[in-house]
Chain A
């Protein structure tokens, strides 16, 4: 057992965990944050994507003990003060989800994609979104409306970062 302190969705938590605990299990079982899903166990499907220090990470392939001192954000932590994150809103506006199981990972990956492209000043084309989603599988939507959702959110997030400047 090892004691770790991690900031999860802005709140510091300290837990004794066994060394083989995956981040996904730590979130789901120890913290009962069940929005992070496990769909494949092999880092392929992306349902478990969370942000660690602002970067998308597949939580089924990260050991929780390696994250002592890290900032972890899950899908439960992306809305602020009761307002949905633009990426969440865009998925609702564009019917970017059906069964909802892959959705937390899609939203977390989507935010990461937009943040990276905007930080680098690159244009996020449909082809780029599709290529960037290579690590996230959805079986319901055929991706059509997920692409629309990320395009929409990217536009709104660009507006937000401009407004913040």
Chain B
């Protein structure tokens, strides 16, 4: 089957994008369109006494200006978080109140204070500039490592010491005992740098209130429109669910940052009701840097103990995680259950303890960004493994092999049970693809050119397929993390798949269609995938955490099972055969061993004409399914990075990057490779280029692409990729998920390669030329003195 599972089918969605006919939120213009701009807090912490909008209201085109206190009066709810974390002493987490627009205090540069609605975008922006703010600047806490210090400025009055929670996982006594008796102990302090997700499409919202119907429609840049509707209804009281339609049309990337329901969407919906106009807001890039949820931002001390043979005896980490000024939707789970539970990596560790203190600072909210917690865990573990190998004089690959988990399922010391994997094979394949055997010769050749060549590894496992609903519920999640699907066979035999997953680059329109093409042998052009509209799809939890494959496609498989069963009943009845004798091939249902058959479209027609259905069967051919996973899935991989450093400048070039992954079953290898290319590039960006930087007052210094270094085409190499699949036994397709793996696994491979090249393990991300040069000087004092 050329369009089925495993085929490199070219994307069905491409035509509209390559011809400029994509339909993104900012491309939508409604009748009666007005435009919004926001007045934002200009400092990191301030008491807002009020605004003077007289001059702004008098400007041409200005329709209305509204503030947070008015919103509060109208009953619009405070922002919520979706996951409650309990501290190690049993107390519930503490978090500050987040009003969609400021009522009293502005707590980060960019905090929304007022909305200006005008006839054009330019008029709205100009008027927002003209609104006078009356505020008193207050002391701010800006940096992660400072938040818990005595005397640090309080971000929220009700969060003493800025501590949101002090959480732990594992067994501290056991880990301490293991470390006390260890033959060798490796210690490192690491910063997991704060990142801005930067989907290329800025966030945007078009909010339309229909007074006659008392109904709202919101077009928005969302990864999960149904969750947006639920939250907007149940918590923000914008409108009840049946009076609110949320549409996420073409969405230009998300990487986590478009999971969350932000103040701007809420405010635009409310402003549409207040003004009677359709209200559109589109972020500019600086606003995106200021207000899109950032990612990572951990400071971690790690200690790992080994026995004389190089086997890990204990692992301990102590992390401060910056949550920012407010607790965003999934902010609390990222440093805990998506980070602490992965601290075993792909190694058999007998004792693990992780402590995470989550803190408020006067910076933008920090939440899940591609990988969410798992990159932080992987970075810590893989830096430790490489550093320990160097300290013990062992080959880093051999140290890993010695500690790999070999049998599955494997129960870690930190909750998770891994489903399947073959970590040895991945590393073997990666070493071969990367030609590790030839490295010393390449290093010598590089040295002859005055370059320092280094090689670094990362072998990782991560948890995808969020997530078993009951399990996450017991850990504090406010929602279940199943997925839904509906498969509709039309009377002419064409097929529509409605999914609660949301594609914002993931190629669902193609990959999901391959499932139906594979199942029924119909041309892929006869299959349409529908998503992103709460009026069309019943419900869905959206796309993040690499869940569209293992959870979203599993729901589709369940619906296909039901359709197939009913189709066979119809065919058996019509052909006067037993269902057990039927096979589906090339778009026909055949009675095995005979020439009796029905074409697929004949079954569709029979189902809807309903002249001759089995007794008691309802007409139609349309089935719905919900899939709730029984466990996470656990993709793994072995990555090898090779770099050349110019010792005179610190400029580092990635000369080869190899990734061998285990994603379980692969539906479309072309699409999966694309996900790895992009993920690895984001990881290289974190390792070498990207970093959100604030000054001491909390002003954002990296608020444009002239200040925040995004990976560009000449910063990265072409990649060498391969796969080895051990299908997950826990979902119908055996899929593990591939969306985040590249971003999770790659940063430590890069840093391990650079530290190998320069001979200094003390190097933080992003490894800019100046940092690499300085690290090199630190271990070469003689050279520096010359």
For B647-684 the 0/1 string (1 means CB < 8 A from A) is: 00000000000000000000000110110011111100
State which residues 277-319 of B face A: CB under 8 Å: 284-286
Q: Is B199 interfacial (CB 8 A cutoff)?
A: yes
> Is the Cβ of A75 less than 8 Å from the Cβ of B20?
yes
Known A-B contacts A35-B19, A84-B19, A143-B713; the reply to A137 vs B10 at CB < 8 A is no
Shortest CB–CB separation between residue A96 and chain B, in angstroms?
9
Chain A contacts of B504 at CB under 8 A? Answer: 99
Shortest CB–CB separation between residue B544 and chain A, in angstroms?
14
Return the 4 tightest CB-CB contacts between A and B, nearest first.
Answer: A35-B20, A101-B252, A100-B17, A142-B681
For B23-36 the 0/1 string (1 means CB < 8 A from A) is: 11011010000000
State which residues 3-55 of A face B: CB under 8 Å: 20, 28-29, 32-42, 44-45, 47
Known: A29-B29, A35-B22, A97-B18. 7 other contacts (CB 8 A): A42-B706, A76-B21, A100-B17, A102-B200, A137-B705, A139-B710, A142-B719
> Is the Cβ of B200 less than 8 Å from the Cβ of A139?
yes
Contact check: which of B505, B706, B712 meets A100 at CB < 8 Å? B505
> Is the Cβ of B718 less than 8 Å from the Cβ of A144?
yes
Chain A contacts of B711 at CB under 8 A? Answer: 142
> Is the Cβ of A99 less than 8 Å from the Cβ of B286?
no
Q: Is B328 interfacial (CB 8 A cutoff)?
A: no
Contact check: which of B21, B122, B678, B706 meets A98 at CB < 8 Å? B678
**Residues of chain B whose beta carbon lies under 8 Å from any beta carbon of chain A:** 10-11, 13-24, 26-27, 29, 122, 198-202, 250-253, 255, 284-286, 504-507, 670-671, 673-674, 677-682, 704-706, 710-714, 716, 718-719, 742
Interface centre among B26, B504, B674, B704 (most CB of A within 10 A): B674
> Is the Cβ of A99 less than 8 Å from the Cβ of B251?
yes
Closest to A105 in B: B200
Chain A contacts of B23 at CB under 8 A? Answer: 34
> Is the Cβ of B705 less than 8 Å from the Cβ of A141?
no
Known A-B contacts A137-B710, A144-B677; the reply to A101 vs B704 at CB < 8 A is no
Shortest CB–CB separation between residue B531 and chain A, in angstroms?
14
Chain B contacts of A91 at CB under 8 A? Answer: 14, 18
For A83-100 the 0/1 string (1 means CB < 8 A from B) is: 010001001110101111
Shortest CB–CB separation between residue A4 and chain B, in angstroms?
18
> Is the Cβ of B200 less than 8 Å from the Cβ of A74?
no
Closest to B684 in A: A142
- What are 25 of the A-B contact pairs (CB < 8 Å)? A34-B24, A37-B201, A41-B704, A42-B705, A45-B200, A45-B285, A95-B670, A95-B674, A98-B678, A99-B199, A99-B252, A101-B199, A103-B17, A104-B20, A129-B713, A139-B255, A139-B710, A140-B253, A140-B674, A142-B678, A142-B719, A143-B677, A144-B677, A144-B716, A147-B718
Closest to A102 in B: B200
**Residues of chain A whose beta carbon lies under 8 Å from any beta carbon of chain B:** 20, 28-29, 32-42, 44-45, 47, 74-76, 79, 84, 88, 91-93, 95, 97-104, 107, 126-127, 129-131, 133-134, 136-147
Interface centre among A76, A79, A130 (most CB of B within 10 A): A130
Chain B contacts of A133 at CB under 8 A? Answer: 712-714
Does more than half of chain A's interface fall in helix, strand or loop, or is it mixed? loop
Shortest CB–CB separation between residue A115 and chain B, in angstroms?
18
> Is the Cβ of A42 less than 8 Å from the Cβ of B18?
no
Shortest CB–CB separation between residue A103 and chain B, in angstroms?
5
Chain B contacts of A84 at CB under 8 A? Answer: 18-19
Closest to B718 in A: A144
> Is the Cβ of B253 less than 8 Å from the Cβ of A40?
no
Interface centre among A37, A129, A147 (most CB of B within 10 A): A37
Q: How far is the CA of A95 from the CA of B505 in the complex (A)?
A: 11
> Is the Cβ of B253 less than 8 Å from the Cβ of A93?
no
Contact check: which of B122, B714, B742 meets A131 at CB < 8 Å? B714
> Is the Cβ of B677 less than 8 Å from the Cβ of A141?
yes
> Is the Cβ of A138 less than 8 Å from the Cβ of B200?
yes
Shortest CB–CB separation between residue B305 and chain A, in angstroms?
37
Shortest CB–CB separation between residue A100 and chain B, in angstroms?
3
> Is the Cβ of A141 less than 8 Å from the Cβ of B714?
no
Known A-B contacts A100-B250, A139-B200; the reply to A40 vs B704 at CB < 8 A is yes
> Is the Cβ of A42 less than 8 Å from the Cβ of B285?
yes
Q: How far is the CA of A146 from the CA of B681 in the complex (A)?
A: 13
Closest to A44 in B: B705
Contact check: which of A76, A98, A131 meets B507 at CB < 8 Å? A98
Chain A contacts of B284 at CB under 8 A? Answer: 41
